[in-house]
Structure 1
């Protein structure tokens, strides 16, 4: 069954089988997205880019409508010369072809560079942060006279929010730098929607400031839902990010009065392509799931597991409890934080899966693959017990939290 058809079938099941008073939905809705003229009015504030400007863009694992923004900047004559587009992949590894899909307004003379976190010949060492992160970054970040970053801002389960400095660190950083920074995700203070006092977030910005004067970098920070843009902030990197962060909390954040018994999460594109990215939907809403509850992850995962570092940890342990016990901040290896978070959820909840991954893969990740008939029986049982159900329609983007008095 195709993903769209599966989603429709499940939503129909819920409406038929479940008492509406016990269902909460995180459906993203907006009375008004920005019009073309409104977007252009904001982009007019960008200073015209000079020759040889480097424009840092997201890779294909992000939903940022990069091509739309570039098209408008061309129309407004903000990009009068050929530029270098630098794809900030972090530790991801898209090919030039998938990177080029982000750009539909290509001009003669433009260049496309795809970051490779393992090519240290293209990186410059700029210093060490107070938390002992050795900062290696792409040479162009240090040498480019003019830089513009284009990014989207959403809740992030250990960095607080995406966007901002993430175009540079980890976007254009060496693997060693990303690994040393991401070990801080093992700390309890590194939480979704939290920036102040978040050690990983603070380390990212400190690392960025070692690369160059961030106030000299122009940026476009946006809140979007697919190709639709809800909010735009332009200006210096920190200032524009702070404005967009507040808008992201309002748009993607859902406050609740109490926890729920069960969660069904439809992972939204492009995060649904791999299990590595799909985990974000689990992390974004797990705080509102009761202990002993159920989490159903629905993600096609047509590109498979994705970055397999975290998945390899599962192969070494026969239970979530043994995994949690062995992984630690002091002995951190890249991917440990994702495996650790996964194990913590699997230890206190039953995790089900619907998608294209095999039964063997799913069992390795402490989950159980189920059918539509199996889910029908679950819904009937939960409804009879009058248990609450959260339907996360835009999994991986929306974030739920219990509001404190």
Structure 2
């Protein structure tokens, strides 16, 4: 089934309280697996929105920025330019935006690009071409990759009011004229992606990212939360040390199948705030009730590893009853990812033990372990992936292989507990925030 059919299905047949049998396509890697559901359920997916012409959306946004002059003016008035782009774990349409900007970029003598990886690994050749598209061969000699672990590449710029020491890649302050290309969608502990995230964690040192992400242990660090969220507030506060930078922000908002819904350019904060409103129109979906079974999938490319796929669990838990079963579906194509969180989960016998060990001292990645352990305290966590069973067990998840068989087993388990099964299914769990009515 193609993506268009998949989206049509999940939207049109989104609520079945009477238990009508229906096949629901679940993404697994780049393919879809039909799930036959014969119990009362509802499918929670990103909302269908009307999409205009891609080139026109980009052109209109670049020519009508908020809070700043046009992109042309920015480029003409900048002696050096550094363009920050997302890595391949985000479906940001960077290549499409760069293609529209290519002519004016060619006219400038000193334009460089940096893949803002945060603490992630750098891209491989396939991922470079995914990020840069048709502009890659022309600009590849000017592309740099941020490495948070290379202290020699970092420069200390100050400290936030929360105590986060801002060490950023030297190239940022050297160029001072920064174009940011990001995408805004709900994020499980930062509130939203995009905007200020290009700098922290995008081009920050490992130490800086670790200090910021420690705030993710707070209960207030949740999807959609900005005010009162210590992670989001620390990011915004940390940007004060970058007040001397000249930033032109390009923030995209995508549909669930990665089409371009909206783009807002101009001032970093104004463009982000507007993009947040547009992102809510896509990714916040009403949910009539919680389920004792929640199946939540990490769609490609967010299924790159277990570290990234955890976001689907975090969104799914918002629709999960206590003592229920949550099923993660993700290929985890690159394995575990940053294994710090897995090492912590491995050395603890129970999810309660994980939380106790985190209290003894924080390391980057522990927030992932904490978020997973918090679910495991009150619910069962199952996972369908290509990871080794022992690896899945180490993460305090029950390993499973077949989507249909696993779902049917969950239904039986709930019935054995004397409860009527009710399922909430998130085919795009990494991108969908259930809003309980």
Confirm or deny a common fold (TM above 0.5). Answer: yes
Given the alignment of the two structures, is residue 71 of structure 1 paired with residue 107 of structure 2, yes or no? no
C-alpha separation in 2, matches of 1:44 and 1:136: 33
> 3-state SS of the aligned residue for 1:63?
coil
Given the alignment of the two structures, is residue 40 of structure 1 paired with residue 59 of structure 2, yes or no? yes
Match of 1:85 among 93, 113, 128: 113
C-alpha separation in 2, matches of 1:392 and 1:79: 43
Match of 1:278 among 303, 309, 317: 309
Match of 2:44 among 26, 30, 50: 26
* Residues 314-329 of structure 1 mapped to structure 2, 5 A cutoff: 314-328=345-359
Match of 2:248 in 1: 218
Deviations 1:335-374, CA, capped at 9 Å, x for gaps: 1111011111011111111120111111111111223434
Given the alignment of the two structures, is residue 246 of structure 1 paired with residue 274 of structure 2, yes or no? no
Deviations 1:307-347, CA, capped at 9 Å, x for gaps: 1111110111111111122312x721211111011111011
Tell which deviates more after alignment, 42-51 or 292-301: 42-51
Q: Which runs of 5+ in 1 are unaligned?
A: none
Match of 2:33 in 1: 8
Tell which deviates more after alignment, 365-374 or 228-237: 365-374
User: In the superposition, relative to structure 1, how do residues 109 and 339 fare at CA in structure 2: closer, same or farther (>3 Å)?
Assistant: closer
Match of 1:388 in 2: 422
Match of 2:235 in 1: 204
C-alpha separation in 1, matches of 2:188 and 2:115: 23
Match of 1:147 in 2: 178
- Contact 1:254–1:400 under 8 Å retained in 2: yes
User: In the superposition, relative to structure 1, how do residues 342 and 137 fare at CA in structure 2: closer, same or farther (>3 Å)?
Assistant: same
Match of 1:175 in 2: 206
How far did residue 242 of structure 1 move? 0.4
How far did residue 188 of structure 1 move? 1.7
- Contact 2:46–2:431 under 8 Å retained in 1: no
- Contact 1:118–1:175 under 8 Å retained in 2: yes
Match of 1:267 in 2: 298
Structure 2-normalised TM-score? 0.84
Match of 2:216 in 1: 185
C-alpha separation in 2, matches of 1:95 and 1:387: 43
C-alpha separation in 2, matches of 1:259 and 1:388: 8
C-alpha separation in 1, matches of 2:139 and 2:393: 50
User: In the superposition, relative to structure 1, how do residues 260 and 140 fare at CA in structure 2: closer, same or farther (>3 Å)?
Assistant: same
C-alpha separation in 2, matches of 1:160 and 1:32: 25
Match of 1:355 among 385, 391, 403: 385
Q: Which runs of 5+ in 2 are unaligned?
A: 1-25, 65-69
- Contact 2:316–2:326 under 8 Å retained in 1: no
Tell which deviates more after alignment, 284-293 or 106-115: 106-115
> 3-state SS of the aligned residue for 1:194?
coil
- Contact 1:142–1:212 under 8 Å retained in 2: no
C-alpha separation in 2, matches of 1:337 and 1:303: 20
C-alpha separation in 2, matches of 1:184 and 1:156: 14
Deviations 1:186-216, CA, capped at 9 Å, x for gaps: 11222211101111111111212212336x3
> 3-state SS of the aligned residue for 1:265?
strand
C-alpha separation in 2, matches of 1:394 and 1:252: 10
- Contact 1:309–1:334 under 8 Å retained in 2: yes
* Residues 125-140 of structure 1 mapped to structure 2, 5 A cutoff: 125-140=156-171
How far did residue 255 of structure 1 move? 3.0
How far did residue 245 of structure 1 move? 0.8
C-alpha separation in 2, matches of 1:362 and 1:203: 33
* Residues 267-346 of structure 1 mapped to structure 2, 5 A cutoff: 267-328=298-359, 331-346=361-376
- Two-structure CA RMSD over aligned residues (Å): 2.3
Structure 1-normalised TM-score? 0.91
Given the alignment of the two structures, is residue 101 of structure 1 paired with residue 142 of structure 2, yes or no? no
Deviations 1:256-290, CA, capped at 9 Å, x for gaps: 34322111112111111200000001112312211
User: In the superposition, relative to structure 1, how do residues 2 and 232 fare at CA in structure 2: closer, same or farther (>3 Å)?
Assistant: closer
C-alpha separation in 1, matches of 2:140 and 2:108: 8
> 3-state SS of the aligned residue for 2:428?
strand
